[in-house]
């Protein structure tokens, strides 16, 4: 038995009714690293810069540089209007070290991902934003095939053909430039949304 306390996910799933894409990370960083009470809250995480580059050709579109945070209301409005859902593959975890690294994250209770998909019936694509998120999803749906970073595999769920895209981590610990990461994510979003080249 471990004496490390468990943590329950502090956010509710963000599931706009019109969602066609579901983005799944592993679990939020410790609260001390948050710059806002929403997904990808660490100011050094590049997710909202990636989304800014893809949809607005501006990596600072959602960035509040002065206050070292993000424009949360604009992000939520954009996601609702566009149809992008977000949550994580773990609902309860133990941090084996006091950091945000997936390597030291023990999943105690995985998220009921099937229940998430049931709530967004138009969703035809899942993006996993790291190795841990991908492996937890594979266990939940019971398949062994793992897409390489930047590619996808297809699986069926309740007569829906769903693509599982494995994308590069948006963490700065994943050592490629934000523009290169955006190029990878752009290939997914171009398949589901109108994006200027």
Question: CATH code at 71?
Answer: 3.40.470.10
pLDDT value at position 99?
64
Beta-carbon contacts of residue 115 (< 8 Å; ≥ 6 apart) = none
pLDDT value at position 194?
84
pLDDT value at position 64?
97
Instruction: Report whether 79 contacts 14 (CB < 8 A).
Output: yes
Instruction: Report whether 51 contacts 190 (CB < 8 A).
Output: no
Local confidence pLDDT in tens for the 197 residues of the chain:
467 889 999 999 999 999 999 999 999 999 999 999 999 999 999 999 999 999 999 999 999 999 999 999 999 999 999 999 999 999 999 988 776 667 778 899 999 999 999 999 999 999 999 888 999 999 889 888 889 988 999 999 999 999 999 999 998 888 899 999 999 999 999 999 988 65
> Is there a domain that residue 104 lies in?
no
> Is there a domain that residue 49 lies in?
yes
pLDDT value at position 100?
62
- Give the integer Cα–Cα distance in Å for 59 and 122: 28
Q: How many CB atoms lie within 10 A of CB 23?
A: 27
Percent helix / strand / coil, the chain, rounded to 5: 30, 25, 45
Number of domains in the chain: 1
- Give the integer Cα–Cα distance in Å for 50 and 184: 10
Give the predicted TM-score (pTM) of the model.
0.93
- DSSP count for the chain of H helices, then E strands: 5, 10
> Is there a domain that residue 98 lies in?
no
> Is there a domain that residue 108 lies in?
no
Domain that holds residue 169: 15-88+113-189
- Give the integer Cα–Cα distance in Å for 153 and 147: 6
Strands 90-95 and 105-110: antiparallel
> Is there a domain that residue 83 lies in?
yes
> Is there a domain that residue 103 lies in?
no
> Is there a domain that residue 62 lies in?
yes
- Give the integer Cα–Cα distance in Å for 197 and 155: 28
pLDDT value at position 1?
47
> Is there a domain that residue 180 lies in?
yes
pLDDT value at position 33?
92
pLDDT value at position 85?
98
Residue 140: name the closest of 106, 116, 121, 123 by CA: 116
């Amino acid at each position: 038995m471990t004496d490390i306390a468990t943590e329950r996910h502090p956010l509710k799933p963000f599931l706009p009714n019109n969602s066609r894409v579901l983005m799944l990370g592993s679990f939020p960083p410790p609260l001390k690293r948050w710059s806002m009470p929403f997904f990808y809250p660490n100011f050094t995480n590049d997710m909202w810069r990636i989304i800014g580059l893809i949809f607005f050709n501006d990596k600072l579109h959602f960035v509040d540089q002065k206050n070292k945070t993000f424009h949360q209301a604009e992000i939520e409005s954009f996601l609702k209007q566009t149809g992008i859902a977000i949550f994580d593959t773990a609902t309860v975890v133990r941090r084996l070290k006091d950091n945000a690294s997936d390597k030291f994250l023990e999943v105690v209770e995985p998220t009921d991902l099937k229940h998430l998909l049931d709530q967004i019936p138009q969703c035809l694509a899942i993006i996993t934003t790291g190795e841990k998120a991908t492996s937890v999803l594979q266990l939940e749906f019971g398949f062994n095939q793992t897409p390489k970073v930047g590619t996808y595999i297809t699986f069926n769920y309740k007569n829906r053909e769903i693509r599982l895209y494995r994308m590069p981590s948006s963490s700065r610990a994943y050592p490629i430039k934000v523009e290169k990461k955006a190029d990878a994510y752009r290939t997914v979003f171009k398949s589901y949304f109108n994006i200027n080249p």
